[in-house]
Structure 1
């Protein structure tokens, strides 16, 4: 399988900065793994909009995949209680 590039949208970068450093490390590691396998076994397809989500503890990473150019775009991330709002 080819390696996917990873792009973080501004909302994802902003959200990541607000998270404590220990959880940031876990989330960054999970995002890096999406470059190796953008559809891991724990990824769930979103309902009502295109994309996937992956769980990292109490946090969720919401992303889309462009197989044509081998790109994973992290749309947003955040605590499970509010990541889907807006």
Structure 2
């Protein structure tokens, strides 16, 4: 599978501390090998999936036909679902 990080998700990452971004990036770049890692959860409706990294969440969608994972949002758990 290919990995795509949306512009808004990239901006979200730019706002987060470097130490945390390193941990988040490690998880993100493992998604093409395992799109459903332990602890991932399907979100309600058609919003995709989420993975937890400490107090942060990564929201992503999976296009099985196009074999593409798109990171749509990254943020603190209190703000990412708004």
Q: Shared fold by TM > 0.5? A: yes
Distance 1:36 1:12 in 2: 20
- Structure 1 unaligned residues grouped into runs of 5+: none
Q: 2:35 aligns with which of 34, 38, 43?
A: 38
Task: Output aligned runs, 1:1-80, within 5 Å.
Answer: 4-80=1-77
- Structure 2 unaligned residues grouped into runs of 5+: none
How many residues are paired up? 82
4+ long deviations beyond 4 Å:
none
Aligned to 1:81: 78
TM-score of the aligned structures, taking structure 2 as reference length = 0.95
Distance 2:46 2:68 in 1: 18
